[in-house]
Amino acid sequence: MHWKLKAGSNMYLKSIELSGFKSFAKKNGFEFNSPISAIVGPNGSGKSNVAEAFRFVLGEQSIKSMRGKRGEDLIWNGAASEPRANRASVKVIFDNSRKVFSNVDFSEVTIERVVHRDGLNEYLINGSQVRLKDVLELLAGAHIGISSHHIISQGEADKILSALPKDRKSIVEDALGLKIYQYKRLESERKLQKTFENIGQVEALRKELAPHLKFLQRQTEKLTKTESLREELIAVSKEYFQHKTPASPELAKLDGIIMAEEGLIEREKKLALSDEHKTVRLKEVEGLYQEVSKLNEVGLIIKRIGEFIRERKHDGHSESVAEAEARIEKLKKEREKLEEAEFKRELVEVERLVGKLSWDRGKLLDETWDKQEERRRTLERLKMRLEDSDISGSGEIQKEYRETSERDAFLERELSDLDKSAKSLEDIIKDLERRLAVEFNTGLEKINKEFGKMFATMFGGGEAEFILTKESAESEGDEEVSVEEGLDIKVSLPKKKIKSLMMLSGGERALTSIALIFAISQVNPPPFIILDETDAALDESNSKKYGDLVEILSKHSQLILITHNRETMSRAGIIYGVTMGSSGVSKLLSISFDQAVEVAK
């Protein structure tokens, strides 16, 4: 075993273990204790199966990219000396002491994938079963993915040159560590789509509920109106029956006054016409003295009589009774005339008052009748309206309306929450797209700088760079729906005019692809890079340049080189040899550099 440890190098990949995977029928383990490790072996020994094992365990879903047609093709199929396996497993262990997996608290992170003959896949992180999505997100967070920027085979080195502009851009985005943003954006877009679907469903439910809710609302309003009519009917009924008898307090009072006045008139008439009243005795005249004294003229006469009598008594003269009676008779007549005139005046006034009271009584009777008639009509009208608005099952309707209203209110709140979620997701997507654009443009500028330097190193001059392109994607109706970005590659060789990549020779394409892959890896170095015979087409001179670039890369990334090239082997600190016997089972050997040269032949 040949060791060439490099101080200060970053080492993240500790080991990989294969069991039943392709030609590795038995359990085989590779430990990577050097910044640069090499795996060598003759063609057909199974050494490239190690690179495919890395693809497999890191979540590659394309069986074709691992030289198979279905999952079963990845499982050891058996031989005379070794029965076929029922499953294939690959386990990789990472050193996490420097928190390359920032979301994991363990100092080591183990990722394992198992495939069964029925096609079932299992994924495990530190022994716990997880989803493929969990593995991919964990790896993306550590800048490890399944694309070609860190597992590079001979054919895939050229793939970035022949890829479509949009696919080339995707490779660069992955290499720049933007995959995590893309996962988050895709996840947010998926959630947004689901949210829009939920919004549509909730709106459909509310739309379906609306007619029934409106019907129940109308029924409830009718119930409220019916209850109001019922209360109004009760109030009007009470008022109607309270006023049904004509002997209302006001009318009874007027009747009492009229009866009293009529009695007074009758009495006055009798007094005025009575002969007996005219022939009352002197005592009756004297008894009426107080009443007659109310009249001014009568009072004066009485006063004169009194004075006359006193004078007569004082003088000692007395008249005869006949004279006195004559005078009294005369006075009586005068009084009667005065009383009769006063009685007539009072009678006229009383009759006038009685007439007015009778008119008021009639008016009150008419008004009372009109009001009562209006109450009766109101009662009839209310009864008819109440009969028209009567709704059966009012309790059930109110309960159903309450429940339906609560359901509609819940859906309205749900719709509001979904709208807020959609707005939040749209903001997240916009922010992710902005960050993707900023980091991509910044990264592309750095890649172009490194690409130009490494291209010039490989070719002894010249220029190379990525060119950002934009192409409109159109629908069937020729309506522009989006702008698709991509990357073109522009190269210029020293002393040679090149208009397109198609004009490069095989060797020139190999050098260009290596310069490009190494440039991408320099800008955002992944924890490790696996180079699977990418140096196969290089001559001795270019192999030296290739080896120098490998040395540069190893300062930032751990390298695993699968190679035949002696110059490349010389850069490795540890070398594994892979051989295959007649049974078709790959075997692992720890060998020295000199042994490696022999094994690789």
Comparing 277 with 25, the larger pLDDT belongs to 25
Dump pLDDT digits (tens) for 50-108: 999 999 999 988 888 888 888 899 999 988 888 999 999 999 999 999 888 888 889 99
Q: What is the pLDDT averaged over residues 412-422?
A: 94
Say whether pLDDT at 596 is over 80.
Answer: no
So what's the pLDDT on residue 287?
53
Comparing 329 with 587, the larger pLDDT belongs to 587
Whole-prediction pTM value?
Answer: 0.58
Check: CB of residue 177 under 8 Å from CB of residue 524: yes
So what's the pLDDT on residue 1?
34
Inter-CA distances, 65 with 24, 51, 173, Å: 18, 11, 20
Cα separation, 109 vs 99, whole angstroms: 10
Q: How far is CA 422 from the centre of its chain?
A: 6
Cα separation, 42 vs 601, whole angstroms: 6
- 98-102, 543-547, 572-576, 587-591: least confident range: 587-591
Dump pLDDT digits (tens) for 224-281: 776 676 666 677 666 656 655 554 565 566 566 666 656 666 665 565 555 444 444 4
So what's the pLDDT on residue 16?
96
Dump pLDDT digits (tens) for 38-49: 999 888 899 999
So what's the pLDDT on residue 367?
58
So what's the pLDDT on residue 131?
96
Unique residue bearing structure tokens 């409830």? 220
Dump pLDDT digits (tens) for 442-487: 999 999 999 999 999 888 899 999 999 987 765 555 555 667 889 9
Inter-CA distances, 88 with 47, 139, 546, Å: 17, 21, 35
Say whether pLDDT at 285 is over 70.
Answer: no
Check: CB of residue 577 under 8 Å from CB of residue 595: yes
- 65-74, 205-214, 276-285, 343-352: least confident range: 276-285
So what's the pLDDT on residue 2?
35
Nearest one of 45, 29, 34 to 6, comparing CA atoms: 34
3-state secondary structure 261-276: HHHHHHHHHHHHHCHH
Structure tokens at 318: 């007395």
Q: What is the pLDDT averaged over residues 119-140?
A: 93
Unique residue bearing structure tokens 């829009």? 196
Query: 9 falls in which pLDDT band (50, 70, 90)?
Result: very low
Task: Provide the sign of the torsion angle of the four alpha carbons 242, 246, 252, 257, taken in this order.
Answer: positive
Q: What is the pLDDT averaged over residues 545-565?
A: 91
Dump pLDDT digits (tens) for 497-506: 877 788 888 8
Q: What is the pLDDT averaged over residues 532-549?
A: 88
Cα separation, 163 vs 283, whole angstroms: 154
Dump pLDDT digits (tens) for 301-335: 656 666 655 665 555 445 555 676 676 777 777 77
Say whether pLDDT at 284 is over 60.
Answer: no
Q: What is the pLDDT averaged over residues 21-41?
A: 93
So what's the pLDDT on residue 520?
87
Q: Hey, which residues does 558 pair with through a beta bridge?
A: 528
Side-chain half-sphere CA neighbours of 514 within 13 A: 28
Side-chain half-sphere CA neighbours of 6 within 13 A: 21
Top-confidence range, 120-124, 317-321, 404-408, 467-471:
120-124
Share of the chain above pLDDT 90, in %: 33
So what's the pLDDT on residue 14?
94
Count of C-beta atoms within a 10 Å radius of residue 65? 16
Q: At 575, which helix (H) or strand (E)? A: strand 574-580
- 33-47, 390-404, 546-560: least confident range: 390-404
Check: CB of residue 533 under 8 Å from CB of residue 562: yes
